[in-house]
Structure 1
């Protein structure tokens, strides 16, 4: 191993150790300590994150990035015996995942209020991925509907020289006065 290519802090840790069995526990002890200030900051950002003007994709990606960063500082609990048995923490994990769905739904714009209500009433309760998929489909459906309405309103009949003529325009124009 070339110690010069590693950061000086890690290099000083490694230089006095003889084996990797000694290195990993020491590095873990030094660098994986919970950082309460960082956790507090991430919780603040998470609580203030909402869809705003972003699309569903961008909003969901932002939430996931924050949740992943939070998991780094606050990993899932483990048994005192040192092993991890998922069944031991099944209730905790289920509640944590449900809280993520709540946060995702609560941060959506009000235009998704009806869908939010429907998702909260679903049995069984949807996973985060299921909720995201349903909201994303609703957003896509709205965008298609909006595009169709725009195209239909762009096609209008105008009278030129006493004859009716179909004309496609990008701006809606009054057929009486000719003004936009």
Structure 2
């Protein structure tokens, strides 16, 4: 009996999954957990995807949905752990959908199948949504709101636009060409100008002062300069 107990203890230790492993599931996790602010519908895929990705990255589970963590062979000791973790992820994703969309992915075998299906279905709407967001940004102005409220509206539109229309990435090995850095600098300047253009006339003086600065300050610095001017 003692030998059986010792052997059982050894097996448990052997099969125990480290908490840093993507296969690990916390005791408090369960499939029907709503992990995003709003359920996926026909018009919020960009925001939903970003929130879900952030959650899955925090849970160390993104590799299941993007396909980088492949299902182990049926004879592998990790096969059951993979299947269990993937089933949990499927539950998280499908719970965060409206009923009609959930029904359409009911028979998907893996979380990566669901993820690819959603991308194919909703990301093709990226161009029309990007156009709408560009229109929103062009028409957005402070209109008597606080600087913080105005900036938050801009930030929300910028973040979604980045999701549906991401910057092209350099593909050269090691990325020594600096294209990525240049693109980020251009995007930063565009956002700074959009922020300044939409300010009320009360900020015309500080706006002129900022535009005269060499080099042009970062967007974060510009925001703080305008916010300080508002307080004064």
Report the CA distance shift for 1:77/1:18 in structure 2 as closer, same or farther (over 3 A): same
* Alignment size in residue pairs: 139
Contact 1:50–1:108 at 8 Å: present in 2 too? yes
Specify the structure having the higher radius of gyration (Cα).
Answer: 1
1:102 to 175, 193, 207: 193
Where does the alignment leave 5 or more consecutive residues of structure 2 unmatched? 1-86
Please give the root-mean-square deviation of Cα atoms over the aligned residues, in Å: 2.9
Matches within 5 A, 1:1-180: 1=87, 5=95, 7-15=99-107, 17-79=108-170, 87-141=178-232
Report the CA distance shift for 1:21/1:62 in structure 2 as closer, same or farther (over 3 A): closer
The answer for the alignment partner of 2:53 in structure 1 is: none
Contact 1:56–1:139 at 8 Å: present in 2 too? yes
Q: Which 4+ stretches in 1 moved above 6 angstroms?
A: none
Decide which structure has greater strand share.
1
Contact 1:78–1:84 at 8 Å: present in 2 too? no
Report the CA distance shift for 1:10/1:61 in structure 2 as closer, same or farther (over 3 A): same
CA shift, 1:91, in A, is 1.2
- Higher RCO, 1 vs 2 (CA within 8 Å, ≥6 residues apart): 2
The answer for the alignment partner of 1:158 in structure 2 is: none
Report the CA distance shift for 1:26/1:85 in structure 2 as closer, same or farther (over 3 A): farther
Q: What's the secondary structure of 2:169's corresponding residue? A: coil
Contact 2:170–2:180 at 8 Å: present in 1 too? no
Moved more, 119-128 or 90-99: 119-128
| Cα deviation digits, residues 96-150 of structure 1 (max 9, x gap) | 1100000111111222222112111222311111101000001101xxxxxxxxx
